[in-house]
Amino acid sequence: MIMLIIIIIAAVSAFVGFAIGRLGDKYGGHLVGPHHWIYGVILIAVGAYYLNHLTGIAALSFGTGHFISDLNDFLHFRIGGVDIPHKWRFWNID
């Protein structure tokens, strides 16, 4: 039973991280600052360090979802600045 709760928390946390990342990309892409895939990598590192705790698992899952939401900027290694104006698509798929 406890494993089911952990899996549900991890899945919900990953989805929430992805959703917040996509909304941030759409509505906060005009702000000057680091791209949010960097925050995802930081949360993945923190979650991996505290993996024995439920908060570590949630941070790891949230960071993974947040990282995946900005995968295109990571693949082009965009670290900071304003997002390039683009048509808003799911992972650049038409």
Alpha carbon distance, N-terminus to C-terminus of the chain: 41
Mind listing the pLDDT tens digit of every residue in the chain (94 residues)? 889 999 999 999 999 999 998 888 778 777 788 888 899 999 999 999 999 998 999 999 999 999 998 888 888 888 888 877 767 666 555 4
Buried b (16+ CB within 10 A) or exposed e, 49-59: eeeeeeeebbb
What pTM was estimated for this model as a whole? Answer: 0.83
**Tokens read off for 33:** 């600052």
Q: Phi/psi at 34 (nearest 5 deg)?
A: -70, 150
- Give CA torsion, residues 19, 21, 27, 33, to 10 deg: 170
Domain ranges in the chain? 2-75
